[in-house]
Chains A and B, each alone.
Chain A
């Protein structure tokens, strides 16, 4: 589902965020991406969501080579990827319903379909009944769940999350992780960038460690050694 082959990324200011990263995440897997701040975790997510393009190497997401994707095809590509942020990125002046409905609206879904799917997504995150509330009227944990509902409402095959539990207490963090696990169980490929090692170890799931822009460890992967061997 997601493959990085010898990927390097250097930003315009000259900072090299990634250098020769190889990784593979098969469809339906849930993986943690760990590492210190500035290690390159967010850059990996940006490359997957096509918020950045690699300077070198190849990023394949769902068979699409993101580095060669034409600009006019980027919106359609992004609709296949759900993104969850640490700071939620909700529209403060729009009610919960509108925030969650946004991916469906941009995709041109019918009103009935939007209504049905938004309620289903809110039900999944336990916020059914909060449709008319503004994000500011919700707790931080609830806002994070609205962000997750928005990310999953269009049923994307890939979900990426950047420090989704960073602002949450341990109980809320555990709830959010439980939600991700349930989504993963229905086939969504999930990549979670986090520095919460306790949460990662507790899950027992695959962990890719990024250090100084390189993969420093990949516990639980059966694929990476094969890629490395092929190189």
Chain B
């Protein structure tokens, strides 16, 4: 109980210390807020782009062209096998006869086609992957599987652009992680430097505290709480910045969506994001303070 009380006292003392220097605290919090807002903003952007473009899984199709010597009954057998495979939402067979009829109708080469002795077109399996299996790696696995059948001449993926789009989103997500890592380091550096200055300003107090028997842990504690509070407030600031930015952009996004006949609306950061942001900010602030305090407090010893 006494231990807990001491920590609560230390936390309150640190909060009071920040409150007594509101301008300096505000500037530090804004810098940290901006650093944390960037990865959050990027994350919200990626999520909104995904929402705006919808679920592309239905746009991916696979056309399996069978060899011309494959019979229709064998093609029906292959269709049955395909439908039984996991990751396939649907499949249907376009027979060579159906394909020729359609070609005849759409191409206008009816007379020329009549001159052909045999139907040159193969049977085709038109496959739609399941939504849960529409990522590039799974699609590629399915393509290889189909290509391995001896009856298959070629497999064509109708939706390369979706794969490219998914790749761009994956790149953005990777960029997001990279930015989060780098800016997290920035937050650690900002807090570390702030705590370093704080330690210098409170040198006399630290000396007296150590002189009367204060351990390094005791002296370090308020600085750790100060760092954690900076991080917490920085996280809150970042959330507000992103929320306000989205609120400002919403009417423009809606106007743009309306021109495409869409009812799309920007989605702001969720409460879960706020929790993650506050947790990450607090942790980064604590780490920055711990590094600075560990380095600089050890150098301060009382002198008589």
Q: A46: which of B210, B214, B218, B303 is its contact (CB, 8 Å)? A: B303
Q: Which residue of B lies closest to A44 (CB)?
A: B304
Shortest CB-to-CB span from A214 to chain B, Å, is: 19
Contacts of A154 in B (CB 8 A): 212-213
Q: Are A107 and B304 neighbours in the complex by a CB distance under 8 Å?
A: no
Please tell me if B2 contacts chain A, counting CB pairs below 8 Å: yes
Classify chain B: how many residues form its interface, as a range. Answer: 20 to 34
Contacts of B210 in A (CB 8 A): 75, 78
The complex places the Cα of A91 from the Cα of B2 at a distance, in Å, of: 24
A89-B208, A91-B205, A106-B209 known; A45-B304 Cβ under 8 A: yes
Per-position binary interface string of chain B over residues 3-28, scored 1 when its CB falls under 8 Å from any chain A CB and 0 otherwise: 10110000000000000000000000
Q: Are A106 and B304 neighbours in the complex by a CB distance under 8 Å?
A: no
Specify which of B2, B3, B212 lies most central, judged by the most chain A CB atoms within 10 Å of its CB: B212
Q: Are A91 and B303 neighbours in the complex by a CB distance under 8 Å?
A: no
Per-position binary interface string of chain A over residues 70-94, scored 1 when its CB falls under 8 Å from any chain B CB and 0 otherwise: 0010011111000101000111000
Shortest CB-to-CB span from B157 to chain A, Å, is: 66
A-B contact count (CB 8 A): 61
Please tell me if A40 contacts chain B, counting CB pairs below 8 Å: no
Q: Are B212 and A79 neighbours in the complex by a CB distance under 8 Å?
A: yes
Specify which of B2, B3, B205, B208 lies most central, judged by the most chain A CB atoms within 10 Å of its CB: B208
Q: Are A106 and B302 neighbours in the complex by a CB distance under 8 Å?
A: no
The complex places the Cα of A77 from the Cα of B214 at a distance, in Å, of: 10
Contacts of B213 in A (CB 8 A): 75-79, 103, 106-107, 154
Q: Are A91 and B211 neighbours in the complex by a CB distance under 8 Å?
A: no
Contacts of A77 in B (CB 8 A): 213
Q: Which residue of A lies closest to B10 (CB)?
A: A105
Contacts of B301 in A (CB 8 A): 51
Please tell me if A49 contacts chain B, counting CB pairs below 8 Å: yes
Shortest CB-to-CB span from A155 to chain B, Å, is: 13
Q: Which residue of A lies closest to B304 (CB)?
A: A46
Q: Are B215 and A106 neighbours in the complex by a CB distance under 8 Å?
A: yes
From residue 282 to 304 of chain B, which have CB atoms closer than 8 A to chain A? Answer: 301-304
Q: Are A108 and B2 neighbours in the complex by a CB distance under 8 Å?
A: yes
Specify which of A79, A105, A111, A150 lies most central, judged by the most chain B CB atoms within 10 Å of its CB: A105
Classify chain A: how many residues form its interface, as a range. Answer: 20 to 34
Q: Are A89 and B303 neighbours in the complex by a CB distance under 8 Å?
A: no
Q: Are A42 and B2 neighbours in the complex by a CB distance under 8 Å?
A: no
Per-position binary interface string of chain A over residues 46-73, scored 1 when its CB falls under 8 Å from any chain B CB and 0 otherwise: 1001010000000000000000000010
Contacts of B304 in A (CB 8 A): 42, 45-46, 49, 51, 83, 85, 162
Q: Are B208 and A102 neighbours in the complex by a CB distance under 8 Å?
A: yes
The complex places the Cα of A104 from the Cα of B214 at a distance, in Å, of: 10
Shortest CB-to-CB span from A51 to chain B, Å, is: 5
A76-B213, A106-B215, A108-B6 known; A51-B302 Cβ under 8 A: yes
Q: Which residue of A lies closest to B218 (CB)?
A: A106
Q: Are A103 and B2 neighbours in the complex by a CB distance under 8 Å?
A: no
Q: Which residue of B lies closest to A85 (CB)?
A: B304
Please tell me if B178 contacts chain A, counting CB pairs below 8 Å: no
The complex places the Cα of A111 from the Cα of B9 at a distance, in Å, of: 11
The complex places the Cα of A85 from the Cα of B204 at a distance, in Å, of: 13
Q: Which residue of A lies closest to B216 (CB)?
A: A75
Q: Are A89 and B211 neighbours in the complex by a CB distance under 8 Å?
A: yes
Please tell me if A110 contacts chain B, counting CB pairs below 8 Å: yes
Q: B303: which of A51, A79, A150 is its contact (CB, 8 Å)? A: A51
From residue 88 to 143 of chain A, which have CB atoms closer than 8 A to chain B? Answer: 89-91, 102-103, 105-108, 110-111
Q: Are B303 and A83 neighbours in the complex by a CB distance under 8 Å?
A: no
Nearest first, the 3 closest Cβ-Cβ pairs linking A and B are A79-B213, A106-B214, A103-B212
Interface residues of B (CB under 8 A from A): 2-3, 5-6, 204-205, 207-216, 218, 301-304
23 contacts between A and B (CB under 8 A): A46-B303, A75-B210, A75-B214, A75-B216, A75-B218, A76-B213, A78-B212, A79-B212, A83-B304, A89-B208, A89-B211, A90-B208, A91-B204, A102-B208, A102-B209, A102-B212, A103-B212, A105-B6, A106-B212, A108-B2, A108-B3, A108-B6, A150-B212
Known: A75-B213, A75-B215. 7 other contacts (CB 8 A): A46-B304, A51-B304, A77-B213, A83-B212, A103-B212, A103-B213, A110-B2
